[in-house]
Amino acid sequence: MTDNDEPTSDYSDPVVPEHIAAAARQDADTAKATARRPAWVDGYTWQSLWKAVAIILATLFFLTLAWRTQTLLRMLGVSFFFALAMIPAVKYIHERWGWKRGAAVGAIYGAMLLFIVIMVVVLIPAITTFADQVSLNSGDMADKVNSWSQDAFGRDVIAESTATDAAETADTGLTDWAENLVGVATSGIGFIFNLMTILLFTFYFAAEAPRIERALLARMPPHRQKVVGWIWDTAIEQTGGYFYSRMLLMVINGGLFFVAMLLVGMPLAYSLPLSIFEGFVAEFIPAVGTYIGAAIPILLTLVVQGLVPALILLVWVLIYQQAENYWLSPKLSAQTMTLNGGVAFGAAMAGGAIAGPMGAFMALPVAALITSMISNAGKTYDIVYQPEFESADDAAPPTPV
């Protein structure tokens, strides 16, 4: 045997049992494979396994931490949302009048507090009075509806027992809601602590937004800082403009609807809460909000005042909606952005499924923020192909936001 010859063994000796010979051959093959494998393979394998274990353990740790701090994370999310809505106003006050950003946030807090006080003082008694009148006049309302349905269709549409039960349910529900809204500030130390936490984080996010942005951009290379910073600032500005334009439209819509309800003879106790409801639903619930917001006040007007005032209110809603769609809304949104109806409706549905009414309300500005960031990021190209089924106007590229 030479030095280059591999050791060989004769495993066919009849004296050696077959299973011992097979095991010996397997050990020899394993030794050969190990000799051919590079030395770093074992180290890389163990290193990869330890990294996978570390990632899994870290993921479990952070999931557990998130589960234990879910209340705090929800409050941070709400605070961040309110801060996004406040940042454009804070920036405007800071640049227009030279106020410090903290003072601008404090002024906005004061305006919000004043609005809440006015709403509590004016709206809650109106809702309570509305509930009492619904309970007292339920029989007359049902009689009026049945009289109208007899003339129109020849039959009653509301049974007496059904009207009584519905009136009692509405009275109890509205009264309880109003009482809960009045007493929510005194509902316990936990609520006050959560509210103060949200206000504190919102103040920090809104007042320190430039520093937070600079701290994040400092982790990026210079060429990426310019792109990310511009996209972020533009998205925040457009999203804030969208939110404020919807709030202004809500005030205009609800205010004019309130005047219209008074003019057709609706009592103040009905007109005030229903006009606020109509303005909010019509502007912040996409697609079907206009119809839902106007349907309930019109039906109550039909019951209380009769057919003609209800028709007058319906005509007013249709006229105003056309004026808002073709003149008022484009004017207010000229410098901001519009949100696709399908995207807005889907966002509201998703937000409502995740976090209820507050989630549906918060979903629209968040969807506007995401849409604005996407529309301002990346390259766009001219469309050179026009499908045969599209007209030239349909194929024209949209005006960038």
**pLDDT, tens digit, 9 for 90 and up, residues 111-122:** 988 887 777 777
Asked whether the predicted pLDDT for residue 291 surpasses 70, the reply is: yes
Q: Does some domain include residue 10?
A: no
User: Based on the domain organization, do 100 and 175 belong to the same domain?
Assistant: yes
- Structural domain that includes position 352: 241-378+387-401
Q: What is the pLDDT of residues 39-57, one digit of tens each?
A: 555 566 667 778 888 899 9
Q: What is the pLDDT of residues 177-209, one digit of tens each?
A: 555 555 554 555 667 788 889 999 999 999 999
Give the pLDDT score at 399: 46
User: Based on the domain organization, do 272 and 397 belong to the same domain?
Assistant: yes
Structure tokens at 401: 């936001």
Q: Does some domain include residue 83?
A: yes
Residue at a domain's end among 219, 249, 278: 219
User: Based on the domain organization, do 190 and 279 belong to the same domain?
Assistant: no
Q: Does some domain include residue 226?
A: no
Give the pLDDT score at 307: 79
Q: Hey, how many other C-beta atoms are within 10 angstroms of the C-beta on 396?
A: 11
Q: Report yes or no: 277 and 297 within 8 Å, Cβ to Cβ.
A: yes
Backbone angles phi, psi at 358, to 5 degrees: -65, -35
Give the pLDDT score at 165: 54
Q: Does some domain include residue 27?
A: no
Asked whether the predicted pLDDT for residue 315 surpasses 90, the reply is: yes
Residue at a domain's end among 219, 251, 271: 219
User: Based on the domain organization, do 300 and 400 belong to the same domain?
Assistant: yes
Conformation bin of residue 400: beta by default, left when phi > 0, alpha when psi is -120 to 50? beta
User: Based on the domain organization, do 250 and 177 belong to the same domain?
Assistant: no
Threshold 0.85, pTM exceeds: no
Please state the separation of Cα 127 from the chain's center in Å.
Answer: 27
44: Cβ contacts below 8 Å, ≥ 6 apart: none
Asked whether the predicted pLDDT for residue 321 surpasses 80, the reply is: yes
User: Based on the domain organization, do 395 and 327 belong to the same domain?
Assistant: yes
Q: What is the pLDDT of residues 51-92, one digit of tens each?
A: 888 899 999 998 898 888 888 888 888 888 888 888 989 988
Q: Does some domain include residue 294?
A: yes
165 versus 204: the higher-pLDDT residue is: 204
One-letter amino acid identity for 23? Answer: A
Number of domains in the chain: 2
User: Based on the domain organization, do 160 and 251 belong to the same domain?
Assistant: no
Residue at a domain's end among 167, 185, 219: 219
Q: Does some domain include residue 54?
A: no
Give the pLDDT score at 345: 73
Q: Does some domain include residue 181?
A: yes
Please report the DSSP string for 332-380 in residue order: HTTTS----HHHHHHHHHHHHHHHHHHHHHHHHHHHHHHHHHHHHSS--
User: Based on the domain organization, do 215 and 246 belong to the same domain?
Assistant: no
User: Based on the domain organization, do 169 and 285 belong to the same domain?
Assistant: no
- Closest among 167, 99, 156 to 133, alpha carbons compared: 167
Q: What one-character DSSP code corresponds to residue 265? A: T
Structure tokens at 158: 């509301």
User: Based on the domain organization, do 252 and 394 belong to the same domain?
Assistant: yes
User: Based on the domain organization, do 245 and 372 belong to the same domain?
Assistant: yes
User: Based on the domain organization, do 264 and 212 belong to the same domain?
Assistant: no
Q: What is the pLDDT of residues 101-112, one digit of tens each?
A: 999 999 999 998
Q: Does some domain include residue 3?
A: no
Q: Report yes or no: 260 and 316 within 8 Å, Cβ to Cβ.
A: yes
